A and B are shown apart, each in its own frame.
Chain A
């Protein structure tokens, strides 16, 4: 059976996952472990007065005062004007968000630790809270960080002259959009188990993270402990999506406590902590004016974007990654000449924002694609035509767009044409015109976008955040019986890398994937890496594994050359054998010789051995550009505002696919999350900064029953810069759906003259849009 690049190999990791034998942090039992519960702020903004700890619990409660020598988490950006925020692991003086940890409480069980937390009394002096990012910028707003003088982490400008281009426009549309604050909702929340290993003199930290090496670096900085004395182990991780791409205050606290007490301590995040305390995502606001000619060709774009970054700059991505990204990627896959964009990363009394699958692309795609549809409606032409008038053409590749993004390859118009053909728009238009028996309205919508992935040193160095990816290293080691161990610093938690990286190694060395073991999730065993994020792992770690396997192949050939009495350069490795013409020797035999029968090796053998660590970077590190066109058909109930998805098509180009089945899984999962963004998920806040969806009864996630059959078609345009021509694709699914579904809803609402502009497009928002178009507040008795 095919096992190399391109094979639909079944996942190696499924055996343990499907049998419930995964090992997550909460499954790890260490003798003497005590449980931690955090006492968290019930208020969004307040000064902390006395903290009253009952005498019985004196040695079981720890506050900022106890954490001597621990420094705040500080994630700065080198972008000019960035204002840093210090995030103390336990609140000092002031709390700036609901859920901010104030005290760490110990118990033999979590329930007992919560009893202790409930007995601690804190005096608060409540302060006015900043609950909305637009109000936060107004004069007189309360200040999250008083020393700043305002609430803006960072402002950025792209200030081209657009007036000349705009003057030529036949149409001008202006819109405001909002994407709601969301939670990332991995099935496994965060979890930390820390202990001091006195034999190794190493702080050992099991933690549910996507980036173990970055967590180690961050812990070292905050704890003042050198990195060789820290070992970070993420075992199986039950979903990340960006939520686990952070150095946690809780990680710092637990590590301090483990060293302080000498016994293991653990904290398992509960769902309320996940929803309200740790980190949210996605909250953007856009004000956009687009200018186009009478064919819908864009002439100029004028935008202002605001991102609600929350109270603190999260480590390592910082509070400004999202908004700064907006400015550079808003133009999307479109080719136009004049662009102006201002962005604001705003501090509010909410938990920090983290990059969620798709990062800023989901909001950007929403804003841009709704604007293109508004142009299409204004001009009375099909939305696909407006897009075709503006998309970058295959002949322009590689293409540097208006913000200097370097598109590596692809045929964007073809993806759109295929998506349009796959949903059969004329047939739906007919049905739409005839009307549904049940009174529902049919709508057709589409979106197209690009996903810059695996962007490296040059991109991140410009942002100057605590983490800049360099060469991605992978270690490969032949075992004495001819198996292969591969060590990578990225982490696989749903990405199927235990399978796909084995496929890469198989492609180079021909070793059966059953004999290839991927070792990841342990800083003690793997090379340094910034971890799994930014759709980078297949491009970067895949390239690293291929490079290391090639170098291992050279060493194997050097040994084989003696045995086959040939020159190394005349040898060829295939199917687990080294060939010289027709004669061959198996890789296992070479391994056996090297490790176990060295007496049979010639005296002048190459002594480097059968273990290689190699680093890799694509030929250009500005990122791969995968892209997709999404098309959605929906039925909208104008009486209840409810949307049902009738058909959903994705035409996706992720370059060469290492395992198309795995890619389908990634796209499906991301799309479901994107549908969540489109229709269900929202973390609302009241004026005092209280998060209002504190359980999953209030925070609505998409469910299996509501999901359509997602149809995927692949195009495979290789990237000219990467090993095998692969591109990053892990986040793609989550980018397109809000825009495609919003456009479908607006298409359905068109006869009513109504339009939605905010996510999620809840029944309530749809009804409000209809009522607004009718100039009534609602129908009341008209039902």
Chain B
């Protein structure tokens, strides 16, 4: 379990990194916290010629309030989110989720951008960021674009990034003070990957409601169309009119054929909703 040979470069700027990544004579791969890529290298599931370490790029560790949203550089660690070293715009949701990721040693190094770019369906951020309506800021050597996080993720373990593109940061909308959120992750033991994840956010002042069901074989199910789950009364608290048959049908449609698995996802969803409406 030792990696195949590779070269290593530590980029000083996004431009430098994306130039290295855009080279077509070699395969290059971004290294952020290394908490997912490291094991893949050791198992020889990934055998790049070059690793481009982006954690030394100052822009990527920025964390600042920007009008109605929070901008988080991709290399902000789970631990910095957990410890409240970033402004809180989500009524505590980000810190609470960060605290439940893996173990502290992993959180010290693992990054929010790396987690999203890894697109692991059982990971926390790929479920929570869509629930919060976050947008991804993507930067290439010359241009920059913004896209909803759920659109960035193309398939499990496949972010929609062009050669040379880097996920530079995330823009997370600020919640109103009376907005509610709920998160329920079920795993076999502390630090294990999830068997079921449900994230809900509900911000009546902004007319925003989201439900995300994760830890599936596919990318998370993101529901912005709350009518399908709650009927036609979005002004009421999420749990009041929750329609379990609908969620069950969505899970079946997403390929979860096993009734016991569906049961576990449904319980997670109900508990997230209960948390949000408590």
Contact = CB atoms under 8 A, between A and B. Distances in A.
Contact of B244 (A639, A768, A778, A781): A781
A118 interface: yes
26 contacts: A110-B2, A111-B4, A114-B1, A114-B4, A114-B44, A118-B44, A639-B263, A640-B267, A641-B264, A700-B188, A700-B189, A700-B192, A703-B189, A705-B191, A706-B190, A767-B260, A767-B264, A777-B259, A778-B263, A779-B260, A780-B259, A781-B244, A781-B245, A783-B244, A783-B269, A783-B270
Interface of B: 1-5, 39, 43-44, 186, 188-193, 195, 244-245, 248-249, 258-260, 262-264, 266-267, 269-270
B1 A272 contact: yes
Nearest to A703: B189
Contacts of B262: 778, 780-781
A706 B189 contact: yes
Most buried by B among A639, A702, A771: A639
A779 B259 contact: yes
Contacts of B195: 763
Contact of B3 (A111, A695, A783): A111
Contacts of A771: 259-260
Contacts of A639: 263, 267
Nearest to B260: A778
A109 interface: yes
Contacts of A764: 260
Contacts of A640: 186, 264, 267
Nearest to A779: B263
A762 B195 CA distance: 12
A138 to B, nearest CB: 28
A115 interface: yes
Interface string A741-783: 0000000000000000000001110011001000011111111
Given A706-B190, A778-B259, 12 more contacts: A114-B1, A270-B1, A680-B189, A695-B43, A706-B189, A767-B260, A777-B259, A778-B258, A779-B259, A780-B262, A781-B262, A783-B269
Interface in A69-122: 109-111, 114-115, 118
Interface in A3-22: none
Contacts of B269: 783
A271 interface: yes
Question: Is the interface on chain A under 10, 10 to 19, 20 to 34, or 35 or more residues?
Answer: 35 or more
B185 to A, nearest CB: 12
Contacts of B259: 771, 776-780
Contacts of B193: 697
Nearest to A704: B190
A783 B213 CA distance: 15
A293 to B, nearest CB: 40
A310 to B, nearest CB: 23
B102 to A, nearest CB: 11
B104 to A, nearest CB: 11
A115 B191 contact: no
A783 B267 contact: yes
Contact of A780 (B1, B44, B263, B270): B263
B136 to A, nearest CB: 26
Given A110-B2, A111-B3, A695-B39, A767 B263 contact: yes
A115 B47 CA distance: 12
A700 B1 CA distance: 19
A680 B244 CA distance: 30
A776 to B, nearest CB: 8
Contacts of B188: 680, 700, 762-763
A46 to B, nearest CB: 22
Contacts of A706: 189-190
Contacts of B245: 781
A271 B1 CA distance: 8
Contact of A768 (B1, B4, B186, B260): B260
Interface of A: 109-111, 114-115, 118, 270-272, 639-642, 680, 695, 697, 700, 702-703, 705-706, 762-764, 767-768, 771, 776-783
Given A695-B39, A781-B244, A703 B190 contact: yes
A705 B244 contact: no
A251 B186 CA distance: 43
Contact of B266 (A111, A115, A762, A783): A783
A777 B266 CA distance: 15
A703 B191 contact: yes
A118 B186 CA distance: 38
Contact of A781 (B3, B191, B248): B248
Nearest to A777: B259
Contacts of A762: 188
A700 B267 CA distance: 23
B183 to A, nearest CB: 16
A640 B266 CA distance: 10
Q: Which of A272, A640, A641, A762 has the most CB of B within 10 A?
A: A640
Nearest to A35: B2
B43 A783 contact: no
Contacts of A767: 260, 263-264
Nearest to B1: A270
Contacts of B258: 778
Contacts of A110: 2
A706 B248 CA distance: 31
Contacts of B270: 783
Contacts of B39: 695, 697
Nearest to A706: B189
Nearest to A705: B190
Contacts of A114: 1-2, 4, 44
Contacts of A763: 188, 195, 264
Contacts of A270: 1
A-B pairs, top 4 by smallest CB distance, nearest first, are A778-B259, A783-B266, A781-B248, A111-B2
A694 B3 CA distance: 17
Nearest to B103: A703
Contact of B4 (A115, A695, A780, A781): A115
A694 B206 CA distance: 47
Nearest to A113: B2
- Determine which residue in A110, A762, A782 has the highest number of CB atoms from chain B within 10 A of its CB, and name it: A782
Nearest to B261: A778
Contact of A783 (B44, B186, B189, B263): B263
A680 B189 CA distance: 9
B48 to A, nearest CB: 15
Nearest to B248: A781
A777 to B, nearest CB: 5
Nearest to A642: B186
B215 to A, nearest CB: 13
A674 B7 CA distance: 45
A144 to B, nearest CB: 28
Nearest to A638: B267
A700 B190 CA distance: 11
Nearest to A764: B260
A528 B245 CA distance: 70
Nearest to A270: B1
A763 B268 CA distance: 14
B150 to A, nearest CB: 24
Contacts of B1: 114, 270-272
Contacts of A705: 189-191
A140 B144 CA distance: 65
B270 to A, nearest CB: 6
Nearest to A768: B260
A50 to B, nearest CB: 24
A639 B39 CA distance: 33
Nearest to B270: A783
Contacts of B264: 640-641, 763, 767
A281 B4 CA distance: 32
Contacts of A109: 2
Contacts of A781: 244-245, 248-249, 262, 266
B219 to A, nearest CB: 20
A702 B191 CA distance: 11
A680 B266 CA distance: 23
A348 B3 CA distance: 32
